[in-house]
């Protein structure tokens, strides 16, 4: 039933496109018959809109991965470098939130750990929308920023790094089955801001998956039950990621390809000084409008990566 619903969802936009084209053809015929210029102009506007939607639908055909249609979970981690890297991680968080807003996706910040002076140390974001994981999976890796530091009295040039992890939303008990005896669940008092309530009750939850030693802690909600549910959601996504990594390693081993490590070479650089540039090192795609990219204008970078991978994931 899930597969059927998925296929119906994929077919529906094409059915709608088919109906709109039929309506437009009738409108054009009517305009020609009556010699009505206003109908001609209306048809031109409709054609432009349909052409744009067709490009979008055709590009979505590239999302053939098993989990591409799923929602995504983003995890951001500031690299070494203290305040500089923590500020950079917060800039990336804003970039992804703005991108999701532009696409009409729902983005919910599940958890944030603030930096000591500015920025963030870590953040977890759930992005829900059509092909959210398919779009975002290319962001997995190390992102590098070069700029004049706003935190340096000498305004010296600094290079900062942040790691972005992208996980497909797991369907519990379908993708990953976890035996109750494989989990250890601990509760403790939440730390940080939150008022007296968080200090008096043990609402924070730590879930340990014993076979893999994966640990997920969550404390942002006031309810222990809510914290447990979100921690388990993140754990399922991380376990699914482990499965995908194993498959990728085996596939690349058979192909003789090298698999890059998490904190290895950066996948993208954002340069704000001495010139402006955002460049993806995997595809070679670059733009001089780095400010627009950091404001969420990511689509061309994401499309360039997707095109470069066509035919490689089978």
Q: Which residue has the higher pLDDT, 161 or 30?
A: 161
What pLDDT digit, counting tens, does each position of 159-214 carry? 999 999 999 998 766 678 888 899 999 888 776 554 444 444 567 889 999 999 99
How sure is the predictor about 33, in pLDDT bands with cuts at 50, 70 and 90? confident
pLDDT at 109: 93
* pLDDT(93) > 60: yes
Tell me which of 60 and 169 has the higher pLDDT: 169
The whole-model pTM stands at: 0.75
Q: How many residues does the chain have?
A: 314
Q: Give the pLDDT mean for 254-276.
A: 72
Residues 6+ away with beta carbon under 8 Å from 184: 207, 208, 210
Topology alike, domains 72-169+267-309 and 180-254: no
Residue 80 has which token pair? 């070494």
Whether 145 shows a pLDDT value over 90: the answer reads yes
**Section 221-239 average pLDDT:** 86
Match 């490590």 to its residue by tokens. Answer: 261
Q: Cα separation of 156 and 133, whole Å?
A: 37
Q: Where are the domains of the chain?
A: 2-60, 72-169+267-309, 180-254
pLDDT at residue 254, as a whole number: 53
What integer is the mean pLDDT of 244-260?
Answer: 63
Q: Higher confidence at residue 8 or residue 107?
A: 107
Confidence class for position 46, pLDDT limits 50, 70, 90: confident
Give whole-number Cα distances, 264 to 136, 165, 175, 241, in Å. 19, 13, 29, 18
Quote the pLDDT of residue 219: 82
Mean pLDDT, the chain, whole residue set: 85
CATH T-level fold of 180-254: Double Stranded RNA Binding Domain (3.30.160)
Handedness of CA 94, 96, 101, 102 (dihedral sign): positive
Cα–Cα distance, 164 to 263 (Å, whole number): 10
CATH of 72-169+267-309, one of 3.40.309.10, 3.30.230.70, 3.30.70.1660, 3.30.390.10: 3.30.70.1660
């Amino acid at each position: 039933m899930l597969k059927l619903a998925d296929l119906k969802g994929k077919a529906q936009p094409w059915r709608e496109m088919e109906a709109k084209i039929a309506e437009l053809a009738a409108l054009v015929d009517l305009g020609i018959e009556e010699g009505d210029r206003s109908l001609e102009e209306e048809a031109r506007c409709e054609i432009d809109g349909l052409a744009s939607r067709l490009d979008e639908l055709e590009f979505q055909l590239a999302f053939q991965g098993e989990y591409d249609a799923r929602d995504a979970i983003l995890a951001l981690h500031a690299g070494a470098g203290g305040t500089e890297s923590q500020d950079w991680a917060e800039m990336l968080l804003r970039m992804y939130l703005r991108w999701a807003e532009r696409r009409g996706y729902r983005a919910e910040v599940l958890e944030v750990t603030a930096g000591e002076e500015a920025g963030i140390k870590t953040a977890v974001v759930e992005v829900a929308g059509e092909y959210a994981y398919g779009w975002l999976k290319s962001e997995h890796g190390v992102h590098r920023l070069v700029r004049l530091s706003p935190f340096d009295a000498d305004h010296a040039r600094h290079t900062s790094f942040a790691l972005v992890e992208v996980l497909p939303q797991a369907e519990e008990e379908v993708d990953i089955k976890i035996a109750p005896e494989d989990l250890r669940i601990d509760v403790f008092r939440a730390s940080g801001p939150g008022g007296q309530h968080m200090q008096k009750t043990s609402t924070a939850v730590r879930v340990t998956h014993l076979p893999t030693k994966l640990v997920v802690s969550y404390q942002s909600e006031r309810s222990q039950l809510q914290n447990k549910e979100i921690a388990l959601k993140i754990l399922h996504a991380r376990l699914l990621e482990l499965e995908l990594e194993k498959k990728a390693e085996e596939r690349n081993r058979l192909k003789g390809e090298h698999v890059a490590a998490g904190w290895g070479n950066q996948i993208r650089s954002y340069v704000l000084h001495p010139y402006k540039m955002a460049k993806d090192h995997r595809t070679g795609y670059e733009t001089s409008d780095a400010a627009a990219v950091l404001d969420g204008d990511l689509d061309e970078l994401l499309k360039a990566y997707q095109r470069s991978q066509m035919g490689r994931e089978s």
